[in-house]
């Protein structure tokens, strides 16, 4: 699992063009009073999900992402720092900034020409946002944003869906 986490960290840091777009759209995260004193980051309520994800895709939350954090948070931070130090000019720290549900919807509509319903946007956040607190707040972090944009369902061209048109 450490290799997967390290690979995700490098994949995230390398996407400077996506970081630029995220910085244009993201807003500082407002702390929800609901998640303040009465809920901690390891609160079991944050990890309950309507669906269990059994997928091998790196761009989506899997069953391990939905478990309460243990020491994996510390390891992930170390891997993120290692990836940032290994790549010149990389600055992965956009912490504290998020895309809200309406901002994500506007991005999908204006930049991708794919209007989405509010439920579709919530599903995107549930599928791609690794932070359980942000998932509960319906917000998307930079990592979730990169996962969404690099997911197989978001490809501009899907060769498997193309039919061969033979002209005789």
Residue ranges per structural domain of the chain: 2-152
DSSP string, 80-94: HHHHHHHSTT-----
pLDDT tens-place string over residues 50-107: 444 444 444 555 544 555 555 566 665 665 555 555 555 555 455 688 999 999 999 9
Alpha carbons 101 and 118: distance in angstroms, whole number: 8
Distance CA 121, CA 79 (A): 29
Q: Model pTM?
A: 0.63
């Amino acid at each position: 699992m450490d290799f997967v986490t390290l690979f995700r960290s490098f994949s995230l840091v390398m996407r400077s063009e996506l970081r630029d777009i995220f910085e244009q759209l993201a807003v500082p995260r407002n702390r929800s009073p609901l998640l303040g004193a009465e809920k901690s980051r390891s609160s079991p309520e944050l990890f309950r999900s309507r669906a269990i994800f059994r997928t091998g895709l790196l761009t989506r939350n899997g069953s391990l992402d939905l478990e309460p954090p243990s020491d994996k948070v510390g390891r992930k931070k170390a891997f993120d720092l290692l990836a940032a130090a290994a790549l010149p000019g990389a600055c992965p720290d956009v912490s504290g900034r998020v895309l809200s549900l309406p901002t994500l919807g506007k991005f999908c509509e204006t930049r991708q020409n794919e209007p989405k319903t509010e439920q579709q946007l919530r599903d995107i956040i549930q599928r791609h946002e690794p932070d359980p607190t942000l998932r509960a707040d319906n917000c998307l972090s930079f990592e979730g944003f990169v996962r969404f944009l690099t997911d197989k369902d978001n490809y501009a061209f899907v060769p498997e869906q193309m039919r061969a048109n033979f002209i005789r």
